[in-house]
Each structure stands twice: as C-alpha cells, then as structure tokens.
C-alpha cells in the first residue's frame, strides 16, 4: 500500500477517469502477494484483476478474524452522499496511512447504467478503485455468468411447458429417461432430487408406477404463477413488458412476461449469500420459479437445471481482487438490488478478507442505500447467513443531505443546487440532524458501535460541521469526524480510521439481530417497520395476505425478510424527509427468493429496468484506437 503524496493530489480534483488514467496500477500479482495470497490461490484476469480461490479460507482457518466494519449512510439525496467513496477512502487510510492490513469489500456495479446516466461505482476522486473502466465494464464476467444462468432457467421453463403441452405423461417420461439399447433406463442424478421431493425412494426408472411416472414427469406449471423473469445487463426499457412465443414455431403458446436488469436476478442474491460452492449448488437448485396447478413450488432442480446453473456460476463464486489508487486491496463481488434483494456484496469476499487481514487488520464492507435498508439487511440477512459479527458501523452524512432533511428545497440530479445548500444555514442543519440521529439509534439497536463520517464539501462551514458532530455523539455515536478522502485520498480519512479502530475495540459491542427467525412474517415486518422506520403499523393488502398464507404453508415463514422500500425516506413516501411520524407501511405483495433465502415484501412499484435518456452517457464513450484506452467514461 502506497499513500498518495500531497504533490500527487491535483486541485481542483480531476474527473474520475482522469485520475484513474493518471494512476499506474501495480500488477495485481503484487497486491495479491502483499495480501498474503499464494500463487495457487489466484487466477489472473489480465494484469489488474484476479479471482481469488475459496481455498484460502481453509488454509487460514486457524487465523483469527480482523475487525469487521460496515459503511452505511443517512437517508440520501438523489445525488448520493459518498458511501462508496468513504468505503474506499477508509480502507486507504487504514492501509497506506495507519499501516494496518486492510481490505475494502464492495459490490460489482451493473454495467447497463454505465451507458445511461453518468456515475460510476468505483468510489471517486482520490478514493477509487483502478482501473475504473476495468471495474465498470465486464470486470471478470460474473454478471455475464448470471445472465447466462438466469436465462438458461427461463428457456428451460418455457421449453418444458411447451413439451408438456404436446406429450402425454408416458411419452414425457420416455424422453426424460430414454431406454438404452438393452432396454435399461437411468435417472440423471438431478432427477433423484425431484424424486426425493416427491417422496419416491425408487432409483430404477423401470420400477415407477404409472402414478409415480405422472407425478415425476409432469411439472404442470401454472403459467399465471411464474415469477421468474429473463434478464439482461442493459437499460432496455422496452423489455420491461413483453409477449413471448409469437413465432409460428411456438404454435400459439404466447405468454406475457418481462426482463429485469441482471443484478435483480435471484441468482445475484444467491451469489452474494452463498458460503461455499456446495451451498451455492443447493441454493440454485431450490430456487422457485412458480407453482404447479396443484400449488406445489416448482424449483430449478425440478426442471433438471440446478447443476448446469452451478457449472455456469463456478468461476463467478470467486471474488475479484483489484486495488485502490493507494494500492489498498479491494475485493469486488456480487451486487444485488437493495430493494427486492438485500443490496450487499458477498459473504465469501468478506470471509476471505477477514482471514487475510488477520486479527489486527480491518475489513471495510459497504451496505447499499441508507441505513434503514442496507444496514438492516446487512445485519438481519447477510450476517445471519455468514455468521460474521461486525464491530462498527460507519454512518456517512453530508451537510447537504441534512439541510434537505431540515426543510431545504428538493435536490434533483442535473439541476443547480439552491443557495441554502451553498451558504451557511445552521437552522436547517440542526433540524435535519434528526434523520442522522435516528439512523444512529437504529444502529445501536443491533449492539454495534457507530462512528459518523461527515463528508465535507468546500461550501460547508466549520460551525455546520461542528453541529453535526455534536448531534451525532448526542445520539450515541462513539465518534463523529469530518472526512476529505475524495480530495485527499486516504490522508483525508485518517481521523475517521483512527476512530473506527477505537470503536472496533469498544467493550460495548454486543451484536444482536432485530428479530428471531421463529417470528411470523407479520411479526418480522412489524419489527422492521416500527423499530427501524418508525411506522405506527403495517398493513397487508389482500394479495399480500394470500401470499402470507401460501408461503407459510410452503414452510417459508422461517426466512428473514427483505423490505422493498424507497431509500429516499424512512417511510414509503420518498417526499417525506427527516424523521416522518404518523405513517403506516402498506405491503402490496410478497415474493419468495427461496434459493437466496429471504421473502421480499413490496411496499410499492419497484422499477427493475432503468431506461435510457434522450442523450445517454454512451455518446461520450469511445476507445482511443491508438492507445487502446477507453475515453469519456464518467
């Protein structure tokens, strides 16, 4: 790890790609070696990226974990308050400046929006992952693998329904288990999983009764219950709703369905929550795509495709090692949606990083959206499956966002900021601190120390910053410090790093979940909505009530829950800023991600395919064909 010198920091701070281009990353082999990885444990993907084998966890099984820090934020403006940048900046400060072993663990961004509305996900300024074009485009192909796996399952569903519609049970069975030359038949191993599920213990196809043949061979999917969409990592709004099967070869078997963006696939959530190759195989196989006409869940393994999905995801399960501008090691892995999924990077990456830094090191991981969403899901979903226990929450706040919560005018991306956001305004800041304080109190409910990081803008006054820091401590934060890593690199986050190290060692740390898994789905929803959002009550629509019943009957009520709610307010109304009171949360619908292992409760419409504006970002993107460098990317 190598700190940037003051001479290397330019003022004003250049664009992200200019900084990335001006940085010469070291060969990733050097980062890997410095992090303690062995030659056998790394798979290079070019000179600046490498995949890390899961075997490193076994080799280091005797090593005590480092400190585990999660970065989250207050309720943000639509401009974002710098959570990723803080994650990277903090890791840089811990590593290149405090000389601790440190890792940043972050999500892989969706490639689609890179070409739509500008804005990368590699951090920014002098706190970013480089090369940022390698980070934002393709990376090591994990999202492409998810696209392939997701859509193989989609093709399997429609092809199976088509073939079932034209064949009787016996014919279906004869095709699924064809007789060899000697007349014998065998089940593929994946078929034994379906037989077990049906309670059939026979392993010789020739011994099945007619009834068993019918139950085994006919999945009898009810098309109206299908929840499995196709996916693409492209902002293609015209695929949100489509009719498939319109070609004459499909003989009129049309169906209404749609595409999501790939990061919304359940397979992305599976990747993020899997703890081993074997665990991923089981999760992929038990993903439910819809129901049979009799009301039984139909899984990927029922369709015979769980193993093939695992084959497609075999390399994606390895996190990707990259570096920051200060050569801090970064693991990039998984990037599920933060509404219909849990919005956190992978368990495996965190586990590997915690082993590699060892007991005196620190791993900084990021949770998506504001703390009411990303942090709560980090604790109640990710930590539940990983068994890992965090010691410290870093809550990112900005004076800009706090002024908005205090009553400042609407902040809109692409429009100039109102003067109140530029001039000193102590009243607005003071009023808006309520939002931050509520997030701090929420974090404390999980028994974890809180450090507030105030990302300072040039227009913030010392008095404004002082108010924020005082209010943070008043609400229970162990410390609150201003940060300037965007402009100064790790040097701008040294004070934060010192506070975090101290917080991790605090004897008051005593992690606990918000709710027990044995609670009913309604009880879990009430716990999150009342204790975290401050809602009076939770209302379930008739549809949601029906789903409650179905899912409880299916045995899914033991899953943790995942709220699909706006991140722009504690409430479900994005216009209600600060700390709204006197509201209820209405659950419109409930869906089950059985493979990932959570139920998600829809509090409104969630858009799962962004659109392209009239002038998309792609207009500026090109390749300098002489140097081979990408230009115009952010």
Q: Which is nearer to a copy of itself, 516 or 611 (CB)?
A: 611
Return the H-helix or E-strand segment holding 212: helix 210-217
Q: Considering the complex, what minimum distance in angstroms separates the CB of residue 442 from a copy of itself?
A: 34
Q: Considering the complex, what minimum distance in angstroms separates the CB of residue 351 from a copy of itself?
A: 17
Q: Are 269 and 260 in contact (CB under 8 A)?
A: no
**Bridge partners, 561 (sequence order):** 599
Q: Which is nearer to a copy of itself, 275 or 461 (CB)?
A: 275
Q: Considering the complex, what minimum distance in angstroms separates the CB of residue 241 from a copy of itself?
A: 3
Helix ranges, 394-452 (H): 399-405, 426-445
Helix ranges, 480-536 (H): 485-488, 494-504, 521-526
Q: How far is CA 496 from CA 86, 90, 97, 234, in A?
A: 10, 7, 12, 37
Q: Determine the Cα–Cα distance for residues 110 and 334; give it in Å rounded to an integer.
A: 10
Chain length of the chain: 634
Phi, psi of 177 (to 5 degrees): -125, 75
- In this structure, the strands spanning 127-130 and 320-324 are antiparallel
Q: Are 282 and 392 in contact (CB under 8 A)?
A: no
Q: Which is nearer to a copy of itself, 241 or 516 (CB)?
A: 241
Q: Considering the complex, what minimum distance in angstroms separates the CB of residue 211 from a copy of itself?
A: 20
Count CA atoms within 13 Å of residue 309 on its CB side.
35
Residue 616 makes CB contacts below 8 A (sequence gap 6+) with 115, 116, 117, 235
Q: Which is nearer to a copy of itself, 102 or 310 (CB)?
A: 310
Selection from 293, 286, 230, 292 nearest residue 257 by Cα: 230
Selection from 48, 35, 594 nearest residue 283 by Cα: 594
Q: Which is nearer to a copy of itself, 281 or 471 (CB)?
A: 281
Q: Considering the complex, what minimum distance in angstroms separates the CB of residue 116 from a copy of itself?
A: 9
DSSP state of 224: G
Q: Which is nearer to a copy of itself, 147 or 324 (CB)?
A: 147
Q: Which is nearer to a copy of itself, 177 or 367 (CB)?
A: 177
**Structure tokens that stand for 148 in this block:** 């392939």
Selection from 508, 443, 449 nearest residue 478 by Cα: 449
Q: Which residues of 14-40 are buried (b: 16+ CB within 10 A; e: fewer)?
A: eebbebbbebebeebeebbebbbbeee
Q: Considering the complex, what minimum distance in angstroms separates the CB of residue 224 from a copy of itself?
A: 16
Q: Which residue has the tokens 């419109």?
A: 588
Name the packing angle between helices 266-273 and 142-166 (round to 10°).
Answer: 130
Q: Which is nearer to a copy of itself, 16 or 133 (CB)?
A: 133
**Structure tokens that stand for 92 in this block:** 């840089």
| Burial grade of 256 (CB within 10 A; 0-12, 13-18, 19 or more) | exposed
Q: Considering the complex, what minimum distance in angstroms separates the CB of residue 628 from a copy of itself?
A: 6
Cα dihedral value 421, 423, 429, 430, nearest 10: -160
Q: Considering the complex, what minimum distance in angstroms separates the CB of residue 629 from a copy of itself?
A: 9
**Bridge partners, 51 (sequence order):** 43, 320
Question: Would you name the residues annotated as active-site residues?
Answer: 83, 85, 107, 118, 338, 369, 457, 486
Q: Considering the complex, what minimum distance in angstroms separates the CB of residue 255 from a copy of itself?
A: 7
Q: Which is nearer to a copy of itself, 247 or 458 (CB)?
A: 247
Q: Determine the Cα–Cα distance for residues 120 and 554; give it in Å rounded to an integer.
A: 41
**Structure tokens that stand for 7 in this block:** 């001479």
Q: Considering the complex, what minimum distance in angstroms separates the CB of residue 252 from a copy of itself?
A: 11
Residue 403 makes CB contacts below 8 A (sequence gap 6+) with 420, 421, 425, 428, 429, 432
Selection from 284, 286, 295, 310 nearest residue 219 by Cα: 295
Q: Which is nearer to a copy of itself, 251 or 463 (CB)?
A: 251
Q: Considering the complex, what minimum distance in angstroms separates the CB of residue 18 from a copy of itself?
A: 16
Q: Which is nearer to a copy of itself, 196 or 463 (CB)?
A: 196
Quote the longest CA-to-CA distance of the chain.
Answer: 87
3-state class of 592 per DSSP? strand
CB atoms within 10 A of CB 180: 8
């Amino acid at each position: 790890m190598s700190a940037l010198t003051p001479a290397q920091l330019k003022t004003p701070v250049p664009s992200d790609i200019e900084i990335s281009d001006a940085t010469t990353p070291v060969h990733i082999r050097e980062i890997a070696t410095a992090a303690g990885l062995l030659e056998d444990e790394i798979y290079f993907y070019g000179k600046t990226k490498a995949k890390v084998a899961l075997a490193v966890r076994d080799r280091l099984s005797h090593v005590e974990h480092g400190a585990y820090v999660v970065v989250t934020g207050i309720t943000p403006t639509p401009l974002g308050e710098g959570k990723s940048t803080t994650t990277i900046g903090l890791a840089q400060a811990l590593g290149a400046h405090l000389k601790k072993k440190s890792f940043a663990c972050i999500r892989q961004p969706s490639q689609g929006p890179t070409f739509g509305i500008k804005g990368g996900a590699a951090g920014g300024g002098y706190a970013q992952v480089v090369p940022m074009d390698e980070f934002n485009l393709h990376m090591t192909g994990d999202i492409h693998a998810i696209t392939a796996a997701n859509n193989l399952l989609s093709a399997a569903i429609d092809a199976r329904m088509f073939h079932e519609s034209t064949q009787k049970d016996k014919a279906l069975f004869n095709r699924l288990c064809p007789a060899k030359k000697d007349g014998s038949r065998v089940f593929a191993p994946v078929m034994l999983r379906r037989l077990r599920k049906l309670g059939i213990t026979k392993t010789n196809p020739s011994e099945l009764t007619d009834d068993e043949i019918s139950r085994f061979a006919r999945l009898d999917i009810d098309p109206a219950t299908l929840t499995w969409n196709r996916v693409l990592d492209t902002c293609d709004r015209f695929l949100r709703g489509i009719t498939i099967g319109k070609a004459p070869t499909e003989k009129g078997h049309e169906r209404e369905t749609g595409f999501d963006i790939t990061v919304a696939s359940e397979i992305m959530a599976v990747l993020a929550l899997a703890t081993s190759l074997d665990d991923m195989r089981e999760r992929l196989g038990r993903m439910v795509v819809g129901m049979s006409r009799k009301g039984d869940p139909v899984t990927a393994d029922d369709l015979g495709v769980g193993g093939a999905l695992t084959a497609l995801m075999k390399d994606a399960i390895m996190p990707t090692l990259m570096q920051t501008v200060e050569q801090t090691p970064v693991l990039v892995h998984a990037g599920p949606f933060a509404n219909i999924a849990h919005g956190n990077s992978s368990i495996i990456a965190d586990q590997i990083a915690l082993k590699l830094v060892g007991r005196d090191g620190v791993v900084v991981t990021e949770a998506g959206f504001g703390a009411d969403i990303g942090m709560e899901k980090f604790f109640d979903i990710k930590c539940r499956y990983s068994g890992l226990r965090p010691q410290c929450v870093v809550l990112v706040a900005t004076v800009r966002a706090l002024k908005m919560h205090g009553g400042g005018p609407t902040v809109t991306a692409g429009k100039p900021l109102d003067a109140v956001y530029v001039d000193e305004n102590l009243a607005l800041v003071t009023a808006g601190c309520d939002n931050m304080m509520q997030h701090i109190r929420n974090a404390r409910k999980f028994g974890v120390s809180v450090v507030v990081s105030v990302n300072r803008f040039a227009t913030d006054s010392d008095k404004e910053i002082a108010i924020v820091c005082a209010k943070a401590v008043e609400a229970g934060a162990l410390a609150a410090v201003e940060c300037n890593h965007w402009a100064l690199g790790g040097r701008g986050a040294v004070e934060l790093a010192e506070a975090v190290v101290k917080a991790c060692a605090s004897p008051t740390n005593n992690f606990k979940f918000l709710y027990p898994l044995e609670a009913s789905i309604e009880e879990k929803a009430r716990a999150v909505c009342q204790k975290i959002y401050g809602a009076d009550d939770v209302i379930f629509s008739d549809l949601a009530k029906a789903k409650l019943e179905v899912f409880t009957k299916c045995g899914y009520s033991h899953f943790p829950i995942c709220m699909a709610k706006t991140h722009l307010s504690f409430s479900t109304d994005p216009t209600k800023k600060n700390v709204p009171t006197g509201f209820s949360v209405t659950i419109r619908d409930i869906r089950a991600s059985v493979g990932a292992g959570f139920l998600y409760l829809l509090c409104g419409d969630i858009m799962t395919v962004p659109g392209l504006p009239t002038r998309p970002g792609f207009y500026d993107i090109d390749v300098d064909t002489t140097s081979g460098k990408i230009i115009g990317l952010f």
